Structure 1
Amino acid sequence: MDELPPSPSLPAVRAHKGRGAASNPEGRFESIRHHAEDDGWQSALLDDEAPRPQTCVTEERAKSVITRNDSPDIAFSQAVNPYRGCEHGCIYCFARPSHSYLNLSPGLDFETKLRAKTNLAEVLRAELAKPGYKISPINIGSNTDPYQPVEKKWRLTRAALELLAECHHPCTLVTKNALVERDLDLLAPMAREGLVQVLVSVNSLDNRLAARLEPRASAPHRRIKAIRTLADAGVPVGVLVAPIIPALNDKDMEAVLAQAFAAGARSAGYTTLRLPWELKALFREWLALHAPQRAEHVMSLLQQMNGGRDYDSNFATRMHGAGVFSDLLRKRFELACRKHGFTRVRELILDTSRFVPPRKASPQGELF
């Protein structure tokens, strides 16, 4: 009897259309590691026949929704995130490692297995109504994007804004999705009371690069249009050139700032790429697939900005890096801001004097 031919090797990791990550590595808390073996059937499946990862949203009943921080390099002390995970699939997202706390992968799981805090408005109302609550602006979208595609269905960000508008509570929003325009009927009146600022993230004007870096976010030109729409409605809007990835998108910094200012943005900020925990390997994998010829150069510059490591968590440097290349980026940013007249994102002061604590929900309803 003739011997069977040896099984072909497993196909190399490949990109998935519409997704940022190419693989699904275990999180750092997992004690079991999975290793794929080809049984002969896998190799018979053509790439275009392989099933694409589908988005699945699980409802979550949150016990609390306001998170607080005292980090000296973050401009806000309170935040609300309606979703865990983000369908935008940005490969550089610093929030990817947070999915490990759910026993899910920071890779494909982060952008396909999402959690929606369906009782967000109810819990937020209770927290704002507490007698000891100390008001300060709430940032919506500090970890994952509040206007990611699933928001069209779940409308959790909308529910949070309706409550904040009701009790005149100031907030900031950070997004890279033009869906923010949907809520102009709430944002414009809040803006007239000095209660809101929207920050739109645009780190490149290259649509082809953006489609690989942040596959399900709005295209760069669409985000610029959203800035114009917000500004025309009287909503204070800023632009975040974030993250800047050396030798990949840093060339677009000045052009992004110029177009954003022309569209109506009047404040600006930037950060450089951060690679905490599992994100290091995921980003290296992405470089090998999408920018193999410059991968070594990108990582070399990044390490120069982080004391010879892929990432340095030092509060003093983690947002902008350190060293010669970091200084060059800072000078370029400052020069462009002076040229156009941008203020810094931190400089807008929202009004906290109008806040009226919401009434606690009651099964008896309200008479007045």
Structure 2
Amino acid sequence: MPSTRPARGATLNRGSTRFNLAEREADGDWLDERTAIDGEAAPVRTTVTVEHPRTIIARNQSPDVPFDRSINPYRGCEHGCIYCFARPSHAYHDLSPGLDFETRLFAKPDAPSLLRAELAKPGYVCRPIAFGTNTDPYQPIERDWRITRGCIEVLAETNHPITITTKSDRVLHDLDLIAPMAAKGLAAVMISVTTLDPKIAMTLEPRAAAPARRLRAIQELAAAGVPTFVSISPVIPAITDHEMEHILELAAEAGARRAFFIPVRLPHEVAPLFRAWLDTHYPERAGKVMAITQSLRGGRDNDPGFFTRMQGQGPWAALLSTRFHKACRKYGLEGERMQLRTDLFRPPAGAQGELF
């Protein structure tokens, strides 16, 4: 049976059926003994493993995403969002996309130096680098590791454009770097606001910033002159979809320029994790949620097809799209898209170049 863990999103820690990983509900330590005695779910420790990749800029050729390169300073995400489409990536580490994904994290402290080296390569062509495309660059461990900040320092030094997507107000800690970049047309930030209900947020995305703090982040970013956007992603039928118009209204009041949304996606191991979460927190409407979700995805839990994976299909997708665009027109959220400059980029100076 699924069981809740304090401040954690997943109720399961199953391995991947794609890779025949074993289930990891218990780890045999004193926490499991305490659970057996006290009859309650034990807290799960967060651990961070240092990773030393050879490169840091990831490339993609997906035709339905607006960027061709990204940086992920961390693997796994302590925010614990149950719907996170990045969860299946943990299976490649022989770890569970469930609790392991949000508790057994990887950090890349070499990221700033690797970034500097890649930007200095002959023939490098400057285009915006996206942060927050897989896991959140401002998840709680950024407070201590400051890897995201280190990368932004390199990009600020070289006048390289950056986009940031986050559901954390921790991005404000780097406003001293981001605001001057934005003044040059080099930075834009997208804040994800999934729900305004603190009770829903506590189980849906338990360690992310509270909804009110995200709205304040939009306000402070916009006030500092940073082009700021709001993403209502994912929209979950019968759980959060009724909040769409109100989220857009408050985001517009806070200073967001444009909005985006994506219906909930359930790739690979996310589907059974999401079903278990529904059974635990919303058993009375679990069937309805999944029926609508499948209607959005051509009768399946997930549709991996380009373009349709971001938009959904069928009557429910059309209804969500109509509501969204009508609200955007009403609240003035049809402003310009992210347009960042690339002509200011200057490669980082090498040791020899600094002599002249």
TM-score by length of 1: 0.92
In terms of fraction of residues, the more helix-rich structure is 2
Distance 1:352 1:35 in 2: 46
Alpha carbons 2:14, 2:24 under 8 Å: kept? no
Secondary structure in structure 1 of the residue aligned to 2:64: coil
- What runs of 5+ residues in structure 2 fail to find an aligned partner? none
- Is 2:43 aligned against 1:46? no
Based on CA coordinates, which of the two structures has the bigger radius of gyration? 1
For the aligned residues, what is the CA RMSD? 2.0
Q: Residue 330 of structure 1 aligns to which amino acid in structure 2?
A: S
Determine the structure 2 residue equivalent to 1:333.
Answer: 324
Letter in 2 for 1:47: G
The secondary structure found in structure 2 opposite 1:199 is: strand
Structure 1 residues 69-91: Cα deviation after superposition (integer angstroms, max 9, x where no partner): 12121111110010000000000
Residue 314 (structure 1) aligns with: 305
Separation of aligned partners in 2, 1:292 and 1:186: 45
- In structure 2, what residue type is equivalent to 1:302? T
Match among 116, 121, 127 for residue 112 of structure 2? 121
d(CA) in 1 for partners of 2:353, 2:90: 38
Number of the residue aligned with 2:207: 216
The reply to whether residue 356 of structure 1 matches residue 346 of structure 2 is yes
Q: Which runs of 5+ in 1 are unaligned?
A: 1-11
Shift of residue 365 of structure 1? 9.8
Q: Is it true that 1:249 corresponds to 2:240 in the alignment? A: yes
Q: Does 1:130 pair with 2:121?
A: yes
> In structure 2, what is the Cα distance between the partners aligned to 1:82 and 1:116?
6
* Distance apart, 1:30 and its partner CA: 3.3
CA contact (8 A) 1:86 1:114 kept: yes
**Given the two structures, how large is their TM-score scaled by the length of structure 2?**
0.95
1:280-317 superposed Cα distances (whole Å, 9 cap, x missing partner): 10000000000000000000001111111000111131
CA spacing shift, 1:28–1:65, aligned 2, 3 Å: farther
Partners of 2:6 and 2:42 within 8 A in 1: no
Q: Secondary structure at the match of 1:239?
A: strand
In structure 2, give the amino acid aligned to 1:27: S
8 Å CA contact 1:243, 1:273 repeated in 2: yes
Q: How far has the Cα of 1:348 moved from its partner?
A: 2.1
Match for residue 178 of structure 1? 169
CA distance in 2, matches of 1:100, 1:243: 22
Aligned pair 1:269/2:260, yes or no? Answer: yes
TM-aligned CA deviation for residue 269 of structure 1:
0.5
Match of 2:5 in 1: 16
Partner of 1:25: 14
Kindly provide the amino acid, as one letter, of the partner of residue 126 in structure 1: A
**Contact 2:13–2:23 (CA under 8 A) maintained in structure 1:** no
Instruction: Give secondary structure in 2 for the equivalent of 1:114.
Output: strand
* 1:285 alignment counterpart: 276
> Conserved in 2, the CA contact under 8 Å of 1:269 and 1:344?
no
The equivalences for 1:30-109 within 5 A come to 30-31=19-20, 33-34=22-23, 44-48=36-40, 50-109=41-100
Residue by residue over 1:158-196, the C-alpha shift from the partner in whole angstroms, topping out at 9 and shown as x without a partner, is 001000000000010000001001011001100100000
Aligned-residue identity in percent: 51
Separation in 2, partners of 1:157, 1:22: 29
Query: Would the aligned equivalents of 1:28 and 1:100 in 2 still touch at CA under 8 Å?
Result: no
Partner of 1:4: none
